[in-house]
Amino acid sequence: MSAEPVVVPSQVPTHWYNLAADLPEPTPPALHPGTREPLGPQDLAPLFPMALIQQEVSTERWIEIPEPVRDIYRLWRPSPLIRAHRLEKALATPAKIFYKYEGVSPAGSHKPNTAVAQAYYNAAEGTTKLTTETGAGQWGASLSMACALLGLECEVWQVRASYDSKPYRRMQMEVYGGVCHPSPSDLTEAGRAMLAADPDTTGSLGMAISEAVEAAVGDPNAHYALGSVLNHVLLHQSVIGVEALAQLDEIGEGADVVYGCAGGGSNLAGLSFPFLGRNLRDGTSTQVVACEPSACPSLTQGEYRYDFGDVAGLTPLLKMYTLGNDFVPPPIHAGGLRYHGMAPMVSHAVNLGLMTAIAVDQADAFKAGVEFARAEGLIPAPESTHAVAGALARARAATTDETILLGLSGNGVLDLPAYADFL
């Protein structure tokens, strides 16, 4: 058997896939924080353009990707699906391991798949500025890039722990023209209140969301952009799984199990939802495993209930697995996974038994990341190492030539100081 990786070509998808069309029962709706009634389009208009609001509630199976978005996607899409022969050999496993590599995007992760789409729809509606939060910085960098490509301003609130530990992400945002603040900051009422309560807080995505939402609502020329959790974000990320399905079909393979890292849920959903859709429509039996950090285990230890998406209670109430909107996770290296809740549609899929979840310790995640890097040459992002850890454990236990698909959501070249603690 050749030790060379097999890169499977495909085409840039023409449509996003929407799991809502195939779910056996609908995802519980978002509720207005004041009335506790289901949200209407007018409730979301201060934050999002109408095209995204329509996508948020759509039950259409396929939604066409605008040609200007596809044109930008072509800078890095289709992303490669690679057979990990060297890793298989190192593990002495009979299993076949494939990884879908999203680190080929200009920003270095899967995040531009939705950043470009959100910037496009906002620009088309006349918005001139986007505000957002970011953890590790992959999302902030991606939205800054998308805004540069589509002529928008971008203002980012980055979780303090990551702002301090990952200066290169902030620099990346600034190269693209974005403005980045540590969160909580003294620039918003929400931030000032959080600092007053705990001047030494390391911050959280929930805090940063509160600040970015407040800034957007207070500016008539601005909208808010979210990097995960909401349905339209998961929809845009489905290009990952749509491509992966086509790539596996092209070589006559089917995934027995899919592993994806899970923070807010967009990467996991983007990779796995097209496979779940095929399970529901065609009776296939691909397993999906969400791999979350044990330091922020919303799916494995959280409660499935309505909760705010942010700390200040400015966002709609979402039915999701949550650790509580006031939960402040420890400042782990996988900053993109430090979120107290989980995407409602991912939560719904877990509650229905359509996918399962595991929690991975930080040390085990980085050990797996180093093992992957030494076999395949690619250094996974800290977030991605959680999925790598899950896939490696499965491969080690394999007794058949089952096919394991791993989502490698980004590269870790700008996160090398995190790896230093585990070498």
Q: Residue 391 corresponds to which amino acid?
A: A
Sign of the Cα torsion 349, 332, 238, 314 reads positive
What phi, psi does 166 have (nearest 5°)? -130, 65
User: Residue 385 is encoded by which pair of tokens?
Assistant: 């190492």
Measure the CA–CA gap between 109 and 412, rounded to whole angstroms.
Answer: 9
- The predicted pLDDT at position 4 comes to 47
Contact assessment for residue 56 and residue 230, using Cβ atoms and an 8 Å cutoff: yes
The CATH architecture annotation of domain 112-229 reads 3-Layer(aba) Sandwich (3.40)
- The predicted pLDDT at position 130 comes to 98
Enumerate residues 6+ apart whose C-beta is below 8 A from 293: 263, 329, 332, 334, 337, 338, 359, 360, 361, 362, 365, 386
Measure the CA–CA gap between 339 and 379, rounded to whole angstroms.
Answer: 23
Contact assessment for residue 8 and residue 247, using Cβ atoms and an 8 Å cutoff: yes
Cβ burial 96-128 (10 Å sphere, 16+ → b, else e): bbbbbbbbbbebbbbbbbbbbbbbbbbbeeebe
The reply to whether 112-229 shares the fold of 6-17+62-109+232-420 is yes
Alpha helices by DSSP H, 92-182: 112-125, 138-150, 160-165, 167-175
DSSP code at position 9: P
Alpha helices by DSSP H, 176-309: 189-197, 205-217, 231-237, 239-250, 266-282, 298-301
Enumerate residues 6+ apart whose C-beta is below 8 A from 190: 184, 207, 210, 211, 214, 311, 312, 314
What phi, psi does 414 have (nearest 5°)? -85, 5
Count other C-beta atoms under 10 Å from residue 92's C-beta: 8
| Fold observed for domain 6-17+62-109+232-420 | Rossmann fold (3.40.50)
Contact assessment for residue 81 and residue 99, using Cβ atoms and an 8 Å cutoff: yes
Helix crossing, 205-217 with 189-197: angle to 10°? 150
Question: Which residue, 75, 150, 115, is CA-closest to 232?
Answer: 115
- The predicted pLDDT at position 166 comes to 83
Contact assessment for residue 83 and residue 96, using Cβ atoms and an 8 Å cutoff: yes
pTM (2 decimals)?
A: 0.94
Q: Where are the beta strands (DSSP E) in 335-423?
A: 356-360, 403-408
Identify the bridge partners of residue 63 per DSSP, sorted by sequence position.
16
Domain ranges of the chain: 6-17+62-109+232-420, 112-229
Contact assessment for residue 341 and residue 240, using Cβ atoms and an 8 Å cutoff: no
Distance of CA 134 to CAs 159, 208, 219, 329, 389, Å?
A: 6, 7, 20, 15, 24
Q: Where are the beta strands (DSSP E) in 236-353?
A: 257-261, 287-293, 303-308, 317-322
pLDDT values of the chain reduced to their tens digit, one per residue, 423 residues? 444 445 555 689 999 999 999 999 999 999 998 899 999 888 999 999 999 999 999 999 999 999 999 999 999 999 999 999 999 999 999 999 999 999 999 999 999 999 999 999 999 999 999 999 998 899 999 999 999 999 999 999 999 988 998 889 999 999 999 999 999 999 999 999 999 999 999 998 888 989 999 999 999 999 999 999 999 999 999 999 999 999 999 999 999 999 999 999 999 999 999 999 999 999 999 999 999 999 999 999 999 999 988 777 778 899 999 999 888 777 656 656 668 899 999 999 999 999 999 999 999 999 999 999 999 999 999 999 999 999 999 999 999 999 999 999 999 998 898 898 888
- The predicted pLDDT at position 64 comes to 97
Identify the bridge partners of residue 222 per DSSP, sorted by sequence position.
129
User: Residue 200 is encoded by which pair of tokens?
Assistant: 């030494």
- The predicted pLDDT at position 311 comes to 74
